[in-house]
Amino acid sequence: MTRTLRRLALLLLSCSGCLSFAANADNWFDGLESTIYFGVGKGYHNMLVPGLEQGLNNDVLFVVSGDVKWGNFFIETPMHRRGTNIFSASIGYRFYQEQQHSWDVIASNYNMWLPDNRVSSASPQLDGLHIRKGDAIRAVRYQYQQQQHLFAAEAGYDMDSHHGAIGRLSYSYLLPWRNVDLYLNTALTWEGAKVVNYYYGVHPDEVRTDRPLYVAGAGLKTHLGVSAIYPLAENWQLDGSVGLNLFSRNYLRSPLVTRSQEEVAIMMVRYVF
Protein backbone atom coordinates (compact mmCIF):
# COMPACT_ATOMS: atom_id res chain seq x y z
CA MET A 1 0.00 0.00 0.00
CA THR A 2 2.82 2.37 0.89
CA ARG A 3 4.52 1.65 -2.45
CA THR A 4 1.26 2.42 -4.31
CA LEU A 5 0.88 5.73 -2.49
CA ARG A 6 4.45 6.65 -3.37
CA ARG A 7 3.79 5.90 -7.04
CA LEU A 8 0.63 8.02 -7.00
CA ALA A 9 2.52 10.87 -5.36
CA LEU A 10 5.30 10.68 -7.95
CA LEU A 11 2.71 10.61 -10.74
CA LEU A 12 0.97 13.71 -9.35
CA LEU A 13 4.29 15.53 -9.01
CA SER A 14 5.21 14.62 -12.58
CA CYS A 15 1.86 15.82 -13.91
CA SER A 16 2.09 19.08 -11.98
CA GLY A 17 5.60 19.55 -13.36
CA CYS A 18 4.33 18.98 -16.91
CA LEU A 19 1.46 21.43 -16.38
CA SER A 20 3.88 23.99 -14.94
CA PHE A 21 6.19 23.58 -17.96
CA ALA A 22 3.27 23.94 -20.37
CA ALA A 23 2.03 27.04 -18.56
CA ASN A 24 5.47 28.69 -18.54
CA ALA A 25 6.78 27.54 -21.94
CA ASP A 26 5.48 30.63 -23.68
CA ASN A 27 7.19 32.85 -21.12
CA TRP A 28 10.56 31.28 -21.94
CA PHE A 29 10.46 32.76 -25.43
CA ASP A 30 9.04 36.17 -24.57
CA GLY A 31 12.40 37.85 -25.21
CA LEU A 32 13.23 35.93 -28.39
CA GLU A 33 13.87 38.09 -31.47
CA SER A 34 14.94 36.59 -34.78
CA THR A 35 15.35 37.37 -38.48
CA ILE A 36 16.28 34.52 -40.82
CA TYR A 37 17.52 34.90 -44.42
CA PHE A 38 17.78 32.40 -47.23
CA GLY A 39 19.96 33.55 -50.09
CA VAL A 40 20.96 32.35 -53.55
CA GLY A 41 23.77 33.98 -55.47
CA LYS A 42 27.27 33.96 -56.89
CA GLY A 43 30.58 34.96 -55.43
CA TYR A 44 34.08 35.80 -56.58
CA HIS A 45 37.22 35.74 -54.43
CA ASN A 46 40.67 36.20 -55.93
CA MET A 47 42.61 34.63 -53.04
CA LEU A 48 46.31 35.01 -52.24
CA VAL A 49 46.81 31.28 -52.77
CA PRO A 50 45.43 30.38 -56.23
CA GLY A 51 43.15 27.37 -56.26
CA LEU A 52 41.57 27.84 -52.84
CA GLU A 53 38.70 29.87 -54.29
CA GLN A 54 37.43 27.14 -56.63
CA GLY A 55 34.42 26.20 -54.50
CA LEU A 56 33.33 29.81 -54.02
CA ASN A 57 33.87 30.96 -57.59
CA ASN A 58 32.57 27.94 -59.47
CA ASP A 59 29.45 27.01 -57.49
CA VAL A 60 26.07 28.65 -56.94
CA LEU A 61 25.89 29.81 -53.33
CA PHE A 62 23.01 28.75 -51.09
CA VAL A 63 23.33 30.58 -47.78
CA VAL A 64 21.13 30.47 -44.67
CA SER A 65 21.91 33.30 -42.29
CA GLY A 66 20.20 35.37 -39.67
CA ASP A 67 20.23 37.21 -36.39
CA VAL A 68 18.78 35.71 -33.21
CA LYS A 69 18.62 37.35 -29.80
CA TRP A 70 17.31 35.88 -26.56
CA GLY A 71 17.98 37.98 -23.50
CA ASN A 72 21.73 38.64 -23.46
CA PHE A 73 22.50 35.69 -25.77
CA PHE A 74 22.76 36.20 -29.51
CA ILE A 75 23.70 34.64 -32.85
CA GLU A 76 24.64 37.02 -35.65
CA THR A 77 25.89 36.85 -39.24
CA PRO A 78 26.94 40.45 -39.94
CA MET A 79 28.04 39.95 -43.55
CA HIS A 80 27.31 43.58 -44.50
CA ARG A 81 29.31 44.96 -41.59
CA ARG A 82 32.06 42.33 -41.88
CA GLY A 83 32.80 42.95 -45.53
CA THR A 84 31.73 40.16 -47.89
CA ASN A 85 32.53 37.33 -45.46
CA ILE A 86 29.31 35.38 -45.97
CA PHE A 87 30.47 32.38 -43.95
CA SER A 88 31.27 34.35 -40.80
CA ALA A 89 29.03 33.90 -37.77
CA SER A 90 29.27 34.85 -34.11
CA ILE A 91 27.65 33.29 -31.06
CA GLY A 92 27.90 35.38 -27.94
CA TYR A 93 26.73 36.75 -24.63
CA ARG A 94 26.43 40.48 -23.89
CA PHE A 95 27.56 41.04 -20.32
CA TYR A 96 27.54 44.86 -20.39
CA GLN A 97 25.32 47.38 -22.15
CA GLU A 98 25.06 51.10 -21.46
CA GLN A 99 23.66 53.45 -24.09
CA GLN A 100 25.92 53.11 -27.14
CA HIS A 101 28.60 50.99 -25.41
CA SER A 102 28.56 47.18 -25.12
CA TRP A 103 30.90 44.34 -24.15
CA ASP A 104 30.47 40.76 -25.37
CA VAL A 105 32.15 37.40 -25.18
CA ILE A 106 31.87 35.69 -28.56
CA ALA A 107 32.84 32.59 -30.50
CA SER A 108 33.53 33.44 -34.13
CA ASN A 109 35.59 32.46 -37.18
CA TYR A 110 38.13 34.71 -38.93
CA ASN A 111 39.80 32.39 -41.45
CA MET A 112 38.08 29.97 -43.82
CA TRP A 113 40.03 27.64 -46.11
CA LEU A 114 38.49 24.88 -48.18
CA PRO A 115 37.79 21.75 -46.11
CA ASP A 116 39.85 19.71 -48.56
CA ASN A 117 42.65 20.50 -51.02
CA ARG A 118 40.52 20.16 -54.20
CA VAL A 119 43.66 19.57 -56.23
CA SER A 120 43.09 19.85 -59.97
CA SER A 121 45.02 20.65 -63.11
CA ALA A 122 44.11 24.31 -62.50
CA SER A 123 45.71 24.36 -59.04
CA PRO A 124 48.79 22.07 -59.00
CA GLN A 125 50.40 24.32 -56.36
CA LEU A 126 48.01 22.80 -53.79
CA ASP A 127 49.34 19.31 -54.39
CA GLY A 128 50.99 17.89 -51.29
CA LEU A 129 49.69 20.54 -48.86
CA HIS A 130 48.01 19.59 -45.62
CA ILE A 131 44.43 20.66 -45.06
CA ARG A 132 44.16 23.96 -43.17
CA LYS A 133 40.98 24.02 -41.10
CA GLY A 134 38.92 27.10 -40.41
CA ASP A 135 39.47 28.60 -36.99
CA ALA A 136 37.08 29.11 -34.06
CA ILE A 137 38.04 32.19 -32.06
CA ARG A 138 36.95 32.79 -28.48
CA ALA A 139 37.10 36.54 -28.09
CA VAL A 140 36.13 39.58 -26.06
CA ARG A 141 34.52 42.34 -28.12
CA TYR A 142 33.82 45.99 -27.42
CA GLN A 143 31.36 47.89 -29.61
CA TYR A 144 30.35 51.51 -29.84
CA GLN A 145 27.34 52.36 -31.98
CA GLN A 146 25.87 55.79 -32.56
CA GLN A 147 23.29 56.29 -35.30
CA GLN A 148 24.93 55.07 -38.54
CA HIS A 149 28.39 54.55 -37.01
CA LEU A 150 29.62 51.21 -35.63
CA PHE A 151 33.10 50.78 -34.16
CA ALA A 152 34.33 47.44 -32.81
CA ALA A 153 37.50 46.10 -31.18
CA GLU A 154 38.02 42.35 -30.73
CA ALA A 155 40.76 40.21 -29.23
CA GLY A 156 40.69 36.44 -29.11
CA TYR A 157 42.43 33.07 -29.25
CA ASP A 158 41.80 29.96 -31.34
CA MET A 159 41.59 26.64 -29.48
CA ASP A 160 40.80 24.36 -32.44
CA SER A 161 43.27 24.68 -35.32
CA HIS A 162 46.23 27.10 -35.20
CA HIS A 163 46.07 28.01 -31.47
CA GLY A 164 47.05 31.59 -32.25
CA ALA A 165 45.93 35.05 -31.19
CA ILE A 166 43.97 37.50 -33.36
CA GLY A 167 42.96 41.13 -32.82
CA ARG A 168 40.74 43.32 -34.99
CA LEU A 169 39.65 46.94 -35.20
CA SER A 170 36.73 47.68 -37.52
CA TYR A 171 34.51 50.57 -38.51
CA SER A 172 31.29 50.56 -40.51
CA TYR A 173 29.13 53.47 -41.66
CA LEU A 174 25.55 53.00 -42.82
CA LEU A 175 24.72 55.44 -45.63
CA PRO A 176 21.06 55.43 -46.74
CA TRP A 177 20.88 56.57 -50.39
CA ARG A 178 17.48 56.74 -52.08
CA ASN A 179 16.08 53.21 -51.69
CA VAL A 180 19.44 51.58 -50.99
CA ASP A 181 21.31 51.00 -47.72
CA LEU A 182 25.06 51.30 -48.27
CA TYR A 183 27.58 50.02 -45.72
CA LEU A 184 31.08 51.52 -45.96
CA ASN A 185 33.46 49.15 -44.15
CA THR A 186 37.07 49.09 -43.12
CA ALA A 187 38.98 46.74 -40.82
CA LEU A 188 42.52 46.16 -39.60
CA THR A 189 43.30 42.64 -38.37
CA TRP A 190 46.47 41.57 -36.57
CA GLU A 191 47.27 37.86 -36.64
CA GLY A 192 49.98 36.25 -34.55
CA ALA A 193 52.83 34.18 -35.96
CA LYS A 194 51.02 30.89 -35.25
CA VAL A 195 48.05 32.03 -37.32
CA VAL A 196 50.00 33.29 -40.35
CA ASN A 197 52.34 30.30 -40.31
CA TYR A 198 49.45 27.83 -40.06
CA TYR A 199 47.78 29.15 -43.21
CA TYR A 200 50.70 30.50 -45.24
CA GLY A 201 53.77 28.68 -43.96
CA VAL A 202 55.35 25.72 -45.75
CA HIS A 203 55.97 22.88 -43.31
CA PRO A 204 58.97 20.52 -43.64
CA ASP A 205 56.90 17.64 -45.08
CA GLU A 206 55.31 20.00 -47.66
CA VAL A 207 58.62 21.09 -49.18
CA ARG A 208 59.37 20.30 -52.83
CA THR A 209 61.73 21.73 -55.46
CA ASP A 210 59.48 24.68 -56.32
CA ARG A 211 58.13 25.13 -52.76
CA PRO A 212 60.84 25.87 -50.16
CA LEU A 213 60.44 25.77 -46.41
CA TYR A 214 58.80 28.92 -45.03
CA VAL A 215 58.14 29.90 -41.41
CA ALA A 216 55.94 33.00 -41.24
CA GLY A 217 55.80 35.68 -38.57
CA ALA A 218 52.90 37.83 -37.39
CA GLY A 219 51.09 39.96 -39.94
CA LEU A 220 48.46 42.62 -40.65
CA LYS A 221 45.42 42.46 -42.94
CA THR A 222 43.52 45.53 -44.15
CA HIS A 223 40.01 45.35 -45.55
CA LEU A 224 38.16 48.04 -47.52
CA GLY A 225 34.67 47.30 -48.77
CA VAL A 226 31.19 48.45 -49.70
CA SER A 227 27.96 46.47 -49.24
CA ALA A 228 24.48 47.39 -50.46
CA ILE A 229 20.92 46.20 -49.77
CA TYR A 230 18.10 46.96 -52.20
CA PRO A 231 14.50 45.89 -51.40
CA LEU A 232 12.82 44.03 -54.28
CA ALA A 233 9.50 43.23 -52.61
CA GLU A 234 8.05 42.88 -49.13
CA ASN A 235 10.20 39.87 -48.19
CA TRP A 236 12.80 39.93 -50.96
CA GLN A 237 16.04 41.89 -51.18
CA LEU A 238 19.03 42.15 -53.47
CA ASP A 239 22.44 42.20 -51.76
CA GLY A 240 25.77 43.13 -53.28
CA SER A 241 29.27 43.49 -51.82
CA VAL A 242 32.71 44.32 -53.17
CA GLY A 243 35.93 44.42 -51.20
CA LEU A 244 39.70 44.64 -51.31
CA ASN A 245 42.04 42.85 -48.87
CA LEU A 246 45.65 43.99 -48.44
CA PHE A 247 48.36 42.02 -46.61
CA SER A 248 51.70 42.70 -44.94
CA ARG A 249 54.94 41.11 -46.15
CA ASN A 250 54.85 38.00 -43.93
CA TYR A 251 51.84 36.84 -45.96
CA LEU A 252 53.22 37.91 -49.33
CA ARG A 253 56.62 36.25 -48.84
CA SER A 254 55.02 32.81 -48.60
CA PRO A 255 55.91 30.42 -51.49
CA LEU A 256 52.18 29.57 -51.59
CA VAL A 257 51.25 33.15 -52.49
CA THR A 258 51.40 34.44 -56.06
CA ARG A 259 49.18 37.54 -55.72
CA SER A 260 49.67 40.83 -53.92
CA GLN A 261 46.05 41.39 -52.81
CA GLU A 262 42.58 39.87 -52.78
CA GLU A 263 39.45 41.09 -54.54
CA VAL A 264 36.04 39.92 -53.33
CA ALA A 265 32.56 40.34 -54.84
CA ILE A 266 29.20 38.77 -54.00
CA MET A 267 25.72 39.20 -55.50
CA MET A 268 22.76 37.50 -53.85
CA VAL A 269 18.96 37.47 -53.75
CA ARG A 270 17.68 36.83 -50.25
CA TYR A 271 14.27 35.99 -48.80
CA VAL A 272 13.56 37.37 -45.32
CA PHE A 273 11.48 35.17 -43.02
Look at residue 90 and tell me whether its pLDDT is greater than 80: yes
The pTM (predicted TM-score) of the whole model is 0.84
Q: What is the mean pLDDT of residues 80-102?
A: 84
For 53-66, the pLDDT digits (tens) are 766 777 898 888 88
Q: Where residue 120 falls among pLDDT bands split at 50, 70, 90?
A: low
Spatial separation of the C-alpha atoms in residues 16 and 166, rounded to whole Å: 50
What pLDDT was estimated at residue 9? 41
Q: What is the mean pLDDT of residues 217-241?
A: 95
Instruction: Report the candidate in 233, 225, 232 with the shortest Cα–Cα distance to residue 45.
Output: 225
What pLDDT was estimated at residue 57? 76
Pick 80 or 127 by higher pLDDT: 127
The three-class DSSP label of residue 143 is: strand
Q: Count of CB atoms within 10 A of residue 111's CB?
A: 23
Look at residue 170 and tell me whether its pLDDT is greater than 50: yes
What pLDDT was estimated at residue 2? 42
Q: What is the mean pLDDT of residues 29-36?
A: 84
The CATH code of domain 34-272 reads: 2.40.230.20
What pLDDT was estimated at residue 204? 94
Share the mean pLDDT of the chain: 85
Q: What is the mean pLDDT of residues 81-100?
A: 83
What pLDDT was estimated at residue 51? 79
| Residue ranges of E strands in 11-136 | 32-46, 61-70, 73-76, 90-98, 101-108
What single DSSP character describes residue 134? P
Look at residue 122 and tell me whether its pLDDT is greater than 60: no
What pLDDT was estimated at residue 22? 41
- The percent of residues above 70 in pLDDT, for the chain, comes to 82
Q: What is the mean pLDDT of residues 144-160?
A: 95
Q: What is the mean pLDDT of residues 181-192?
A: 96
What pLDDT was estimated at residue 245? 95
Look at residue 123 and tell me whether its pLDDT is greater than 50: yes
Instruction: Report the candidate in 240, 255, 213, 15 with the shortest Cα–Cα distance to residue 126.
Output: 255
- Parse the chain into domains and list their residue ranges: 1-30, 34-272
Look at residue 12 and tell me whether its pLDDT is greater than 90: no
The continuous run of DSSP H or E covering 149 comes out as strand 149-158
Look at residue 108 and tell me whether its pLDDT is greater than 60: yes
Q: What is the mean pLDDT of residues 192-198?
A: 97
